[in-house]
Structure 1
Amino acid sequence: MILTVTPNPSLDRTYELPGLTRGTVLRATTDRVDPGGKGINVSRAVAAAGHRTVAVAPLGGPEGALLTRLLGEHGIEAAGVPIVASTRINVTLVEPDGTLTKVNAVGPQLTGAEAEALLEAVRIRSAGTDWIACCGSLPRGLPPQWYAELVARSHRAGVRIALDTSGAALTAALRERPDVIKPNAEELAEAVGRPLATVGDAVKAAEELRERGARAVLASLGADGQLLVDGTGTYFGTARVQSVRSNVGAGDASLAGFLAAGGSGPAALAAAVAHGAAAVQLPGSVMPTPADLDLSAVTTTPDIPLDRPLKEPAP
Structure 2
Amino acid sequence: MIVTLTPNPSIDRAVMIDALHPGEVHRATANRIDPGGKGVNVSRALVAQGAETTAVLPIGGPEGHLLEELLDTEGVPRRSVPVSGAVRMNISILEPDGTTTKLNEPGPALDETEVATLLDHTLDLAVDADWIVGCGSLPPGVPADFYAQLVLAARERNVRVAIDSSGPSMSAAMAARPHLIKPNNDELAELVGAELATLKDVRDAALTLVDGGIDIVAVSLGQDGALLVTREDTVHAHAHSVTPLSTVGAGDCMLAGLLHSLTTGMPASAALAVAVRWGTAAVALAGSGVPSPEDLRAVDVAVDASPSLTYRLGQ
Partner of 1:84: 84
Cα distance, 1:75 vs structure 2: 1.0
Structure 2, unpaired ranges of 5+? none
- Residue 36 of structure 1 aligns with an amino acid whose one-letter code is G
Partner of 2:151: 151
Partner of 2:68: 68
Query: What is the distance in 1 between the residues matched to 2:271 and 2:8?
Result: 27
Structure 1 position 283 matched with structure 2 position 279:
no
Cα distance, 1:10 vs structure 2: 0.4
Cα distance, 1:175 vs structure 2: 2.5
Partner of 1:203: 203
Aligned residues: 312
- Residue 14 of structure 1 aligns with an amino acid whose one-letter code is A
How does 1:146-295 map onto structure 2 within 5 Å? 146-262=146-262, 265-294=268-297
| Post-superposition CA distance 1:124-163 (Å, at most 9, x none) | 2222111111100111111111100001111111211111
Cα distance, 1:290 vs structure 2: 1.3
Query: What is the distance in 2 between the residues matched to 1:195 and 1:19?
Result: 31
Cα distance, 1:295 vs structure 2: 7.9
Partner of 2:42: 42
TM-score normalised over the length of structure 1: 0.96
Query: What is the distance in 2 between the residues matched to 1:246 and 1:96?
Result: 9
Q: Secondary structure at the match of 1:18?
A: coil
Q: Percent identity?
A: 46
Cα distance, 1:21 vs structure 2: 2.7
Q: Is the 8 A contact 2:240 2:299 kept in 1?
A: no
Query: What is the distance in 1 between the residues matched to 2:222 and 2:24?
Result: 32
Query: What is the distance in 2 between the residues matched to 1:291 and 1:126?
Result: 31
Q: Is the 8 A contact 1:257 1:272 kept in 2?
A: yes
Q: Is the 8 A contact 1:177 1:214 kept in 2?
A: yes
Query: What is the distance in 2 between the residues matched to 1:22 and 1:224?
Result: 29
Query: What is the distance in 1 between the residues matched to 2:249 and 2:305?
Result: 27
Cα RMSD for the two superposed structures: 1.4
Q: Secondary structure at the match of 1:28?
A: coil
Structure 1, unpaired ranges of 5+? none
Q: Secondary structure at the match of 2:313?
A: strand
Cα distance, 1:296 vs structure 2: 6.7
| Post-superposition CA distance 1:44-93 (Å, at most 9, x none) | 10000011211101111111111111111111112111111100000011
Q: Is the 8 A contact 1:72 1:78 kept in 2?
A: no
